């Protein structure tokens, strides 16, 4: 196994609830994961029993529920995640992690802007928790196809984040893309400001471009399809300014400046 800090654990399910159109919030009990996990990391979860399906699913850590419990957010949109959605309280999941590098959490930023699209919101909640714990102002820009595809608004607000929504069809919030409103939010308050983005590639690419124009610190969390999930197969390699890097082991968080965008 490439990452020496990874562990493989059987985590007891506390709850596994629908929190939106196809979105599920899975909470598991684990003092060691709650203690060691960082925002931006993920778990590589075996969703079925035995060897079917063979590949684990990378699921973002969504946040801490308390000192003994962590939450994951996932979208049930295929056979594997449908199996995960069928799991019940009291069952266990086989999880490897906490995997990946995580976002930068730095008290020098006076404001941070979280840019999330679709299920990309999953790791940003954990990051909002980390920055709000430091007293940092957190602006959340959430984008979705329509209001039915939005989730986590109330949770961000209860953390004290300022939340603005965009939908492609205008059914809630501003009509258009979430990156349409990013520039105005960069200019709207004191710095230093940092941007953290997770969602569709086109959204992250645009956020990275805008961050570059304003010379603002920006990290993106890439969501490549993974196979081994532990750095061994190179199936998740992406091109960066320093060569190919593995999303699962070198990421999933990268500086926006180092990503060579192909999508």
Q: Which residues bind ligand FES (CB under 6 A)?
A: 226-229, 231-236, 246, 248
The HSE-up count of residue 243 (CA atoms within 13 Å, CB side) is 2
Nearer to ligand FES, 2 or 159 (CB): 2
Residue appearing with tokens 């954990």: 126
C-beta of 44 vs 206, nearer to ligand FES? 44
Q: Which is nearer to ligand FES, 85 or 236 (CB)?
A: 236
Residue among 105 and 228 whose Cβ is closer to ligand FES: 228
Q: Is 184 exposed, middle or buried (0-12, 13-18, 19+ CB in 10 A)?
A: exposed
| Residues in a beta bridge with 94 | 10, 46
Q: Which is nearer to ligand FES, 213 or 232 (CB)?
A: 232
Nearer to ligand FES, 71 or 236 (CB): 236
Minimum CB separation of residue 108 from ligand FES in Å reads 31
Question: Concatenated DSSP letters for the chain?
Answer: ---TT-EEEEEEEEEEEE-SSSEEEEEEE-HHHHHH--TT-EEEEE-SSTTSS-S-EEEEEEEEEETTEEEEEEE--SHHHHHHHT--TT-EEEEEEEES------TT-SEEEEEEEGGGHHHHHHHHHHHHHTT-EEEEEEEESSGGG---HHHHHHTT-EEEEEETTSSSSEES-GGGGHHHHHTTS-S-EEEEEES-HHHHHHHHHHHHHHT-EEEEE-----SSSSSSS-TTEEEETTEEEETTTT-SEEEGGGB----
- Go through the chain and tell me how many residues it has: 263
Measured from the CB atom, the residue of 117 and 229 that comes closer to ligand FES is: 229
Structure tokens at 149: 């595809």
């Amino acid at each position: 196994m490439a990452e020496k800090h990874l562990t493989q654990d059987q985590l007891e399910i506390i709850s596994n609830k629908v929190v939106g159109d196809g979105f599920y919030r899975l909470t598991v009990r684990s003092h060691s994961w709650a203690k060691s996990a960082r925002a931006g990391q993920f778990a590589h979860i075996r969703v079925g029993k035995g060897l079917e399906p063979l590949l684990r699913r990378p699921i973002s850590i969504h946040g801490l529920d308390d000192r003994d419990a962590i939450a994951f957010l996932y979208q049930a949109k295929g056979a594997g995640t449908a199996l995960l959605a069928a799991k019940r309280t009291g069952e266990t999941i086989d999880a490897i992690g906490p995997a990946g590098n995580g976002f930068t959490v730095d008290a020098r930023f006076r404001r941070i802007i979280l840019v999330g699209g679709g299920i990309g919101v999953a790791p940003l909640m954990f990051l909002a928790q980390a920055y709000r714990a430091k007293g940092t102002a957190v602006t959340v820009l959430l984008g979705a196809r329509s209001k039915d595809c939005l989730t986590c608004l109330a949770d961000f607000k209860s953390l004290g984040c300022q939340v603005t929504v965009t939908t492609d069809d205008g059914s809630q919030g501003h009509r258009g893309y979430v990156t349409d409103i990013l520039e105005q939010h960069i200019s709207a308050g004191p710095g230093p400001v940092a941007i953290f983005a997770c969602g569709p590639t086109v959204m992250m690419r645009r956020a990275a471009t805008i961050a570059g124009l304003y010379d603002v610190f920006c990290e993106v969390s890439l969501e490549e399809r993974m196979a081994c999930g532990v750095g061994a197969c190179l199936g998740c390699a992406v091109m960066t300014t320093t060569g190919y890097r593995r999303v699962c082991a070198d990421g999933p968080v990268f500086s926006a400046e180092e990503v060579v965008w192909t999508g």
